[in-house]
């Protein structure tokens, strides 16, 4: 199996090529730029096209056009650029167009900083643009997953005719790790809705607006049915030492990765700690919490002011105390700080 | 005496009746496009991109595949379509507000890149759908709902002549200003549109046709008076004619 | 010489065809279509020369124009 030392960002590019993606439209913004750079070098050799748009709004709308013809297409940006794309993403959701949108989260709000951060959680999972819609959000925690989840993203986007967001952070994007370049899509799914020229078939149109409120409701209900189907069918997470866990950490991406070593250290000291690492941030893995009866307390670990914690509380219906341990501004959190916070809030005997 | 039809509904248009206000000349421009699509036999290989505005609902009126997207983004969408399917013909249809206000960034860069698409601008000097507000092309002194005392240059500056602006960009190989206020100008405009599509067929670069049009409801005049107003006020500011014909497209 | 057929349901009584017709063939009728527009009617059929200017100006393609094939085409 072909393995390469790749930055997380480059792994996303490599996966896109092997997913049969032939088009990338983007705009430079740290810390995501290696994605467009990697693809600018390698996609043309795979018969594809990389076009740098005049801005992020142009890029997401170029993706709209390409997706409308049935092509697999991707764009990538980082927080401020991702914000500029929200109207476009709302339109993609409404017109049911499959596009993979990567957000390498950096510290915000405003220009913010380049450090790793998870402050875009709400924007990604609650719908960053206008209207009632959701997008599938996948959260890799290492370079191999940046690769694997990108391939899944293209499949999910086509299967459900929806934009799919990859939410990572600057550290994941910039960290170089060995990546297995596995899987190669050869045949793309047939898209009998695409507007690719009505030669020998009925004319088609791609758009979503309603001239009457009755139409509006009918369309909205149809979309909501799709979202609830996805919500039930596509929840993904990783359980780590949760079978006998009395306490739980919940963390995704970088935090999910750091949390694993905290689980190991706590267990060495006799604390039955487990980790639930959400892989889909939407649909949030509510099912992960359903089977855990003996949990006394949950600590969510985030690089923001506390966003995913709300979904965890909802998932357990506040039946269990849920606390937050977080860092802001681009700072990372250490294993020791998580263990200290765990001990503090749940009055556990651990040495840190 | 056997009668032969000399003017009928072109195949490039569907049977869907137009929703435009009485006397609004969007319909004439649609007919011209429908005729060009039929005459060049490109209905099956063309994808049109609609704006958000009065003509945002043209999706059902053209016989070719149509794509609608956000306000101002038609040319960015068209770029995505063309890059995905360079074997297809792509045109954009936008009002003056859609292309010269919110869509300006794409108007500039699509021309600068020499994107192989055909872009059509319908210039009626107001935002029509939202009820007649001032547009980038509203004339000095023109009364609109957001320039109730007439467009004031001190406040909002003079109007933008987008064709002249785009003509300065190397990638734009054909830039023309048309008008549908009279049979003569309609005929001229059709030639411009056909040439613009021919240029795309030959893959020679970006072709742009701006077309003066009326807005009886929001200009507050009868359809016939609108044509007079257009001739007396808009034509002097936006004269009809081919503004740029690059060497490589001259004999198309 | 020529003939104009009016699609009553498409006509919106905008009058552009009447204005441009060189022979005053058309006029606003007094019957209304489903939308309530007094659609255009042929007033002087015999005057029509099939020049099709009315059809060129019609924004709703409500007019179909025919010409006697004996004489050369209108455009």
Q: Is the pLDDT of residue B82 over 70?
A: yes
Contacts of B17 in chain C (CB under 8 A): 9-10, 60
Q: Looking at CA atoms only, how far is residue C6 from chain B in angstroms?
A: 11
Residue of C18, C59, C64, C71 best to disrupt the B interface, most CBs of B under 10 A = C59
Mean pLDDT of A8-23: 98
In chain C, count of helices (H) and strands (E)?
2, 4
When computed from its CA atoms, the radius of gyration of chain C, rounded to whole angstroms, is 12
Mean pLDDT of B33-54: 98
Chain B interface with C: residues with Cβ < 8 Å: 1-9, 13, 17-18, 20-28, 31, 182-183, 186-187, 216, 222-224, 227
Q: C16 vs B8: CB contact, 8 Å cut-off?
A: no
Q: Look at the alpha carbons of A124, A126, A130, A132 in this order and tell me if their dihedral is positive or negative.
A: positive
Contacts of B49 in chain A (CB under 8 A): 65
Nearest to B1 among C14, C64, C68 (CB): C68
Q: Is C6 on the interface with B (CB under 8 A)?
A: no
Mean pLDDT of B155-177: 98
Domain ranges of chain A: 3-233, 237-346
Angle at the Cα of B121 (from B137 to C55), degrees rounded to 5? 110
Domain annotation for chain B: domains and CATH numbers: 26-246 (3.40.50.970)
pLDDT given for residue A292 in this prediction: 82
Nearest to B2 among C13, C64, C69 (CB): C69
Q: Is the pLDDT of residue B188 over 50?
A: yes
Q: Are B52 and B85 in contact (CB under 8 A)?
A: no
Read off the pLDDT of residues C11-51 as tens digits, 9 standing for 90 and up: 999 999 999 999 999 999 999 999 999 999 999 999 999 99
Q: B20 vs C63: CB contact, 8 Å cut-off?
A: no
Residue of A94, A194, A197, A202 best to disrupt the B interface, most CBs of B under 10 A = A197
Q: Is A25 on the interface with B (CB under 8 A)?
A: yes
User: What is the pLDDT of chain A when averaged over all its residues?
Assistant: 97
pLDDT given for residue C70 in this prediction: 72
Chain B interface with A: residues with Cβ < 8 Å: 14, 43-47, 49-50, 56-57, 59-60, 63-70, 73, 76-85, 88, 105-106, 108-109
Burial of B177 (0-12, 13-18, 19+ CB in 10 A): buried
> What total number of domains does chain C contain?
1
pLDDT given for residue C74 in this prediction: 47
Nearest to A204 among B65, B80, B106 (CB): B65
Q: Looking at CA atoms only, how far is residue B189 from chain A in angstroms?
A: 25
Q: Nearest Cα to A273, choosing from A324, A335, A342?
A: A342
Q: Looking at CA atoms only, how far is residue B184 from chain C in angstroms?
A: 10
Read off the pLDDT of residues A250-277 as tens digits, 9 standing for 90 and up: 999 999 999 999 999 999 999 999 999 9
Q: A197 vs B60: CB contact, 8 Å cut-off?
A: no
Q: Is the pLDDT of residue A26 over 50?
A: yes
Read off the pLDDT of residues A194-237 as tens digits, 9 standing for 90 and up: 999 999 999 999 998 999 999 999 999 999 999 999 999 999 99
pLDDT given for residue C72 in this prediction: 55
| CB environment A284-313: b (16+ within 10 A), e (fewer) | bbbebbeebeebebbbbbbbbeebbbbbbb
pLDDT given for residue C71 in this prediction: 55
CATH code of the domain made up of A3-233 = 3.40.50.970
Q: Looking at CA atoms only, how far is residue A114 from chain B in angstroms?
A: 27
Mean pLDDT of B204-230: 98
Three-state SS for C2?
strand
Q: Are B96 and B26 in contact (CB under 8 A)?
A: no
What is the percent of chain A where pLDDT is above 90? 97
Nearest to B81 among A66, A91, A198 (CB): A66
Q: Looking at CA atoms only, how far is residue C2 from chain B in angstroms?
A: 7
Nearest to B3 among C37, C57, C68 (CB): C68
pLDDT given for residue C75 in this prediction: 47
Range in A98-112, A143-157, B111-125, C61-75 with the lowest mean pLDDT: C61-75
Range in A332-336, B56-60, C68-72 with the lowest mean pLDDT: C68-72
CATH number of residue C15's parent domain: 3.30.70.20
Task: Verify C-A touch: 3 or more CB pairs within 8 A.
Answer: no
Residue of C5, C57, C67 best to disrupt the B interface, most CBs of B under 10 A = C57
Mean pLDDT of B184-208: 98
Q: A88 vs B59: CB contact, 8 Å cut-off?
A: no
pLDDT given for residue B1 in this prediction: 65
Q: Is C26 on the interface with B (CB under 8 A)?
A: no
Q: B28 vs C57: CB contact, 8 Å cut-off?
A: yes
Q: Which residue of B has its CA nearest to A26?
A: B80
Q: Looking at CA atoms only, how far is residue B231 from chain A in angstroms?
A: 34
**CATH class for domain A237-346?**
alpha beta
| CB environment A215-232: b (16+ within 10 A), e (fewer) | eeeeebeebeebbeebbe
Q: B3 vs C16: CB contact, 8 Å cut-off?
A: no
Q: Is the pLDDT of residue A324 over 60?
A: yes
Structural domain span for residue C39:
2-74
Strands (E), chain B: 3-7, 46-50, 65-68, 89-95, 118-123, 126-127, 133-134, 172-179, 206-212, 241-245
Contacts of A95 in chain B (CB under 8 A): 68-69
Quick check: bond before A109 cis, omega within 30? yes
Q: Is A40 on the interface with B (CB under 8 A)?
A: no
Angle at the Cα of C13 (from B223 to A210), degrees rounded to 5? 85
Q: Is A52 on the interface with B (CB under 8 A)?
A: no
Q: Looking at CA atoms only, how far is residue B137 from chain C in angstroms?
A: 22
Mean pLDDT of B13-25: 98
pLDDT given for residue C18 in this prediction: 98
Q: pLDDT band for position A165 (50/70/90)?
A: very high
Q: Look at the alpha carbons of B176, B180, B182, B188 in this order and tell me if their dihedral is positive or negative.
A: positive
Q: Is C58 on the interface with B (CB under 8 A)?
A: yes
Quick check: bond before A283 cis, omega within 30? yes
Q: pLDDT band for position A1 (50/70/90)?
A: confident
Q: Is A240 on the interface with B (CB under 8 A)?
A: no
| CB environment A318-350: b (16+ within 10 A), e (fewer) | eebebebbbbeebeebebebbbebbbebbebeb
Q: Are A92 and A66 in contact (CB under 8 A)?
A: no
């Amino acid at each position: 199996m072909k393995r390469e030392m790749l930055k997380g960002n480059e792994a996303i590019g490599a996966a896109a090529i092997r997913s049969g993606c032939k088009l990338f439209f983007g705009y430079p913004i740290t810390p995501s730029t290696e994605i467009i750079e990697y693809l600018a070098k390698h996609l043309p050799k795979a018969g594809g096209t990389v076009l740098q748009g005049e801005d992020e709004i142009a890029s997401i709308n170029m993706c709209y056009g390409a997706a409308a013809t049935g092509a697999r297409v991707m764009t990538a940006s980082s927080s401020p650029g991702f914000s500029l794309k929200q109207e476009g993403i709302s339109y993609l959701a409404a017109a049911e167009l499959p596009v993979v949108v990567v957000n390498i989260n950096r510290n915000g709000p405003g220009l913010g900083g380049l450090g790793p951060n998870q402050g875009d959680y709400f924007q990604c999972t609650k719908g960053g643009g206008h209207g009632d819609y959701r997008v599938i959000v996948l959260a890799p925690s290492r370079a191999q997953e940046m690769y694997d989840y990108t391939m899944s993203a293209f499949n999910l986007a086509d299967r459900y005719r929806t934009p799919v967001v990859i939410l990572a952070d600057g550290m994941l994007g910039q960290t170089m790790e060995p990546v297995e370049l596995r899987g190669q899509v050869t045949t793309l799914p047939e898209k009998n809705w695409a507007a690719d020229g009505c030669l020998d078939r009925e004319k088609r149109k791609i758009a979503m607006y309603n001239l009457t409120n009755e139409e509006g409701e009918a369309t909205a209900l149809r979309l909501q049915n799709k979202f609830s189907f996805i919500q039930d069918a596509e929840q993904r997470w990783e359980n780590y030492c949760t079978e006998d866990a009395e306490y739980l950490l919940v963390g995704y991406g970088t935090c999910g990765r750091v949390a694993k070593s905290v689980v190991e250290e706590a267990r060495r000291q006799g604390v039955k700690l487990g980790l639930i690492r959400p892989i889909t941030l939407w649909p949030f893995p509510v099912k992960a919490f359903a089977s855990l009866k003996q949990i006394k307390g949950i600590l969510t670990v985030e690089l923001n002011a506390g966003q995913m914690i709300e979904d965890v509380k909802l998932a357990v219906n506040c039946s269990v105390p849920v606390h937050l341990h977080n860092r802001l501004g681009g700072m990372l959190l250490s294993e020791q700080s998580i263990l200290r916070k765990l001990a503090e809030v749940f009055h556990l005997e651990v040495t840190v | 005496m056997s009668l032969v039809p000399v003017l009928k509904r072109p195949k490039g248009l569907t049977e869907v009746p137009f929703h435009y206000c009485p006397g609004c000349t969007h319909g004439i421009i649609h007919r011209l496009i429908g005729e060009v699509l039929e005459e060049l036999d490109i209905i099956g290989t063309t994808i049109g991109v609609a704006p958000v505005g009065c003509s945002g609902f043209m999706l059902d009126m053209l016989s070719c595949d149509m794509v609608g997207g956000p306000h101002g983004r038609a040319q960015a969408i068209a770029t995505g379509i063309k890059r995905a399917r360079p074997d297809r013909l792509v045109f954009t249809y936008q009002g003056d507000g859609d292309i010269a206000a919110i869509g300006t960034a794409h108007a500039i860069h699509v021309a600068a890149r020499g994107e192989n698409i055909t872009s059509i601008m319908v210039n009626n000097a107001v935002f029509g759908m939202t009820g007649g507000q001032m547009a980038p092309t509203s004339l000095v002194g023109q009364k609109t709902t957001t320039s109730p005392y007439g467009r004031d240059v001190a406040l909002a500056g003079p109007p933008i002549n987008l064709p002249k602006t785009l003509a300065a960009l190397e990638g734009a190989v054909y830039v023309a200003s048309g008008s549908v206020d009279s049979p003569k100008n309609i005929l001229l405009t059709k030639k411009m549109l056909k040439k613009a599509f021919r240029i795309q067929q030959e893959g020679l670069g970006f072709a742009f046709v701006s077309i003066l049009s009326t807005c009886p409801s929001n200009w507050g005049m009868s359809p016939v008076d609108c044509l007079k107003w257009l001739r007396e006020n808009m034509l002097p500011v936006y004269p009809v004619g081919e503004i740029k014909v690059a060497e490589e497209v001259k004999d198309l | 010489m020529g003939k104009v057929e009016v699609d009553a349901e498409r006509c919106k009584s905008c009058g552009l065809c009447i204005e441009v017709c060189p022979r005053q063939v058309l006029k606003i009728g007094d019957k209304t279509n489903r939308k309530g527009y007094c659609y255009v009617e042929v007033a002087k059929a015999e005057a029509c020369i099939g020049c099709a200017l009315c059809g060129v100006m019609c924004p709703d393609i409500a007019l179909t124009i025919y010409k006697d094939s004996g004489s050369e085409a209108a455009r």
